[in-house]
Amino acid sequence: MRQVGFLVDVSRCLGCRACEVACKNYFGLGETQRYRRVSEVEWQTEDGIGLFYLSLACNHCENPECFRVCPNRTYRKRRDGIVVHDAGLCDGCCTCVKACPYGAPQYDADTGKVDKCDLCVSRLDAGLRPACEEACTNDALKVIFLDRIDETGLLKSVPTLPDIRITRPSIRFNPPVVRKQWLSKK
């Protein structure tokens, strides 16, 4: 089965949030809508500080909870695996918002409807890259065909990502890297 998804290189993400706001700019999103969200993840390692930034949009899951729970059948999984939402049919009940483990569906108080990342299907169809990927200065974000890539060295999850077993998200990660640090005199 064809499955389009995202490859996020957390060792390269700068946490600059350009992807997140480029998406709002491209779609003219409402004040409270974040189709893509960047968060900071810090943990302790034996080698020092672990710090990476996690940029997440819709993960276009293999088993999308939004699709399963929506009472109005506003979600559809395309043949290429992209999960699209028809906001025209949405009555803003937010069942999907509560069900999605990743916070992908976003309610807009102005329109009273939910919408989410559609992986820029109209741009992909026109041969363009998604707005977020295009805005990334450090090549940390890429669209991939999960059915075609070699997953050697890639991770299916990283710290703070909610449990992936329920929905099987179409996202892969290059692992975080901790390099040489001198933090203080022992």
Partner 1 sequence: MPKVFRNLCPRNCFSTCSILSYVENGKLVRVSGDPAHGFTRGNLCAKGYAYVERVYSPERILHPLRQFPRGSGNWCPITWEEALETIARKILELKGRYHSFRPVGFCKQYGNMGLLHYAANALFDGLGSVTVTEGNSCWSAGLDAYLYSMGSMEKPDPEDMVNSKVIVLWGVNPAWTAVHQMHFIDRARTRGAQVVVIDPVFTATAAQADLYLRPKAGSDGALALGMAKYIVENAWHDHEFLAHHVEGYEAFFAYLTSISYDWVEQETALPVEAIKEVTELYALNSPAAIWTGLGLQRHTNGGQNVRTILTLAALTGNLGRPGAGLYNPSMTPWELFSFYTRDHVISRHPVEHRRININLLGAELKKTTDPPVKMLWLAQRDLFQDAHTGSLRGALEDLELIVQVDQFLNRSSRYADIFLPTTTQFEEWDVLPSYWHHWIGINEPAISPLGESKSDLQIAWDLSRKLNELSPGICSFPTAGKEEEWVAGEFNQEVYSRLEIEDYRELLQGPRKLKWPQVAWEEMKFKTPSEKFEISSLTAASEGLPLLPVYSEPASAPAAYPFRLMTPHSQSGNNSQFLNLPWLTWGTGEPCLRINPLTAKRLGLSNGARVRVYNQQGEIVFPVKLSATIREDTLVCFQGWPGSAEHELNDLLNGSPTDMGSKGSGRPSIAIHDTFVNLCPA
Name which of residues 34 to 93 contact partner 1 (CB under 8 A).
Answer: 34, 37, 42, 44, 48-49, 51-53
Tell me the DSSP string of 132-148. HHHH-TTS-EEEEETTT
Q: Residue 42 has which token pair?
A: 């810090």
Identify which of residues 148 and 180 has a Cβ nearer to partner 1 in the complex.
180
Q: Cα(177)–Cα(186) distance, rounded to whole angstroms?
A: 23
The count of residues interacting with partner 1 (CB under 8 A) is 39
The gap between the terminal CA atoms of the chain, to the nearest Å, is 54
Task: Give least dist CB 108 to partner 1, A.
Answer: 12
Structure token digits, residue 61: 């899951």
Q: For the chain, give the number of residues.
A: 186
From CA 163, how far away is CA 48, in angstroms rounded? 26
What does DSSP say about strands 171-174 and 4-9: parallel, antiparallel, or unpaired? Answer: parallel
**Long-range interactions of 39-44: CB distance < 8 A, separation 24+:** 39/160, 40/15, 41/10, 41/158, 41/159, 41/160, 41/176, 43/159
Per CB under 8 A, 122 contacts partner 1: no
- Segment 130 to 159, residues that bind partner 1, using CB under 8 A: 134-139
The residue (of 109 and 166) whose beta carbon lies closer to partner 1 is 109
* Interface pattern 8-37 for partner 1 (x via CB under 8 A): ----x-xxxxx-xxx-xxx-xx-xx-x--x
Cβ 142 vs Cβ 133: under 8 Å: yes
Pick 141 or 146: Cβ nearer partner 1: 141
Supply the minimum distance, in Å, between the C-beta of residue 30 and partner 1: 9
CB closer to partner 1 out of 15 and 92: 15
Shortest distance in whole angstroms from residue 10 CB to partner 1: 10
Residue 183 binding partner 1, by CB under 8 A: yes
Binding site for partner 1 (CB under 8 A): 12, 14-18, 20-22, 24-26, 28-29, 31-32, 34, 37, 42, 44, 48-49, 51-53, 134-139, 179-186
